[in-house]
Structure 1
């Protein structure tokens, strides 16, 4: 029999509750990968992320900025130019993303087999 779960496991004052939840969302990891080589403009991010709507990309970038993962730099030019760049904290996610990609690659066959068996 499994041990009972600790009722304090998800206590709001626990440091783990401060983790930026959006790391696991659909777009954050992809934005991190897009910014790995350096700063990018919004329009440059939309090219590889063609399936994301401008609204969702804006929300993702704002959440990432709020959590200290990216910086937003506005340049006083005509037309105005805004660039997004990874902070050191955001860049530290690359290790986590690389680990998740390696696991996904190694487990792909097992995952696909489990899905096929489940659908029968």
Structure 2
């Protein structure tokens, strides 16, 4: 088991966006960092959030940052509060749930069909 956090490009509907990442811990998706659009200039515009599958996400584990570096630091801080509280059973259940989800066939709604 690793304690390292990794960022992977977010893929939604086969597409990626600049500055949009999924946060991965030990091959489990635990968060996301992405650029928000439409906010006034000068306001924090990088959204970040951390949660562990099967657990509620407290408000302190999500927010806006001025840039991706600040968002990464906030993710690390939030994760440092979550990680020590996880049980082996919770980690196993999260891994199994994610594996089931990845095996599930993806079907686009009929109104999305080309």
| TM-score, with length taken from structure 2 | 0.33
| TM-score, with length taken from structure 1 | 0.32
More relative contact order, 1 or 2 (CA 8 Å, 6+ apart): 1
| Higher relative helix content | 1
| Higher relative strand content | 2
